[in-house]
Structure 1
């Protein structure tokens, strides 16, 4: 069995050296011999147990060899506990009034809280009742709105049906009016056709020639014309066939002795008897600067014809130049003459 020598930590050794140095310095100044002490290494026994040698003094512990530091710690703990108990005993009566005031404040807070709880409970009850009332009113309002919506839909449906019925009636009325108008027009056309079939021309015949290649015809409209019709309009609408063509009158302004319209036509086709021409062209020389004067007699003119109108519309060709009418017409020597003033550059 081996034993190890106990060695204190280096810090404890340095503290011990410093303490011995202070003691030595004090003893040296006082001329006293140093105390007989052992180093910690020398006072340590086996297994770390300190052993005192003969003739040495234990300066680190009590008389029984226990360390003084442990005894001081026990005393500190004991005195601390005693101080706490004493402080508690003397401090107990002091905060009782404060604690009582706190308890009274807590009681007031609890009472106030209870009042608030009761008020809140009442308000919650009232709020729930109000919510239930509002919910009932909302449900009633929803039912009322649904009823209104249903009534509105029915009203709109009736309105739409009425509109469709009105449109149908209007359409029926328009169709009836159109049919009635067509029927009336058809009846009117039939009546006019029957009435016009009863109208006829009387005294139709040719008259004199009114211009070149055109003869006038005349006739009187006979038959019964109803009072609601204008005889002149019927005269203008009544046709007659001349030279194989159906033509309408150009004038219905005159009336015969019986008040019947007198119609007149100017026929400008297939009227060879009204076709006149010019005889020999006589060169009368220069009439003025740049103008030469020609004269020619009008041939194939009937005694009853309007010679001035026929002369003014009879064309001519002079020196291979076409002229639709003469410059002027004149009558002398029992004959009708046409006169032309044509351009001639040789007339200076």
Structure 2
């Protein structure tokens, strides 16, 4: 046998066919990777199939209704569900019973309320009727009392009038006094022919008229100083020219201030009766100016012994 210890020399000019044959014997790296991937996939598929078969077998074993353990477990589950269902049914039954009781209570309460409302209505009607009857009786009683009182007053007045006429009481010493206010004078007189035993002297005084200026007047008030000294007082506001004061010297002081909307007027008061109260006459003597009428001055004051009236009123021309 021939032995070669060293490889033949590389001949670059050798045949290309020999090169191809040598190359065809060596597998490529890509081919080897693909084969390895196929083997791994097949192994994984086989393992998964085995696992599925084992799991299915175990699952079927755990859920097989013919298995005594499975039947016992199912019976236990059924028992738990049955007890739960019975509990829920009992709770629903109790709830329905409670609802029926509450409904009955509400119905009973409504009926009770309706009964009470009807009773209250009847009681109110009876009370109103009774109160109306009482008011009617009370009005009738008041009416009778008023009529009785009026009858008594009328009888007493008539009796006093008859007694006064029988006694022939009359006025004497009629005297004119000072002027009390604008165009008004006070008069006094003494009632005579009053018996000493007569104890209604003031009533007789107030019921006895007197003629002044041809007109009969009743006394405004009376003073009782004894049977022979019953004094009547009158205030006569007719036919008293000496008591009629009047305003003169009209003075317009213009607007009280710019934009105030008010004007000030003053008058001098003339013909105040001797002894008369200047404030009273100033406040009661009427006056008219600028289309307005006043029953007296708004403010009264004295200036150098003269009496003046003062008015302040709204005026559009002062705005």
TM-score range, shorter chain: 0.3 to 0.5
TM-score, with length taken from structure 2: 0.46
Calculate the TM-score normalised by the size of structure 1.
0.43
Q: Which has the larger radius of gyration?
A: 1
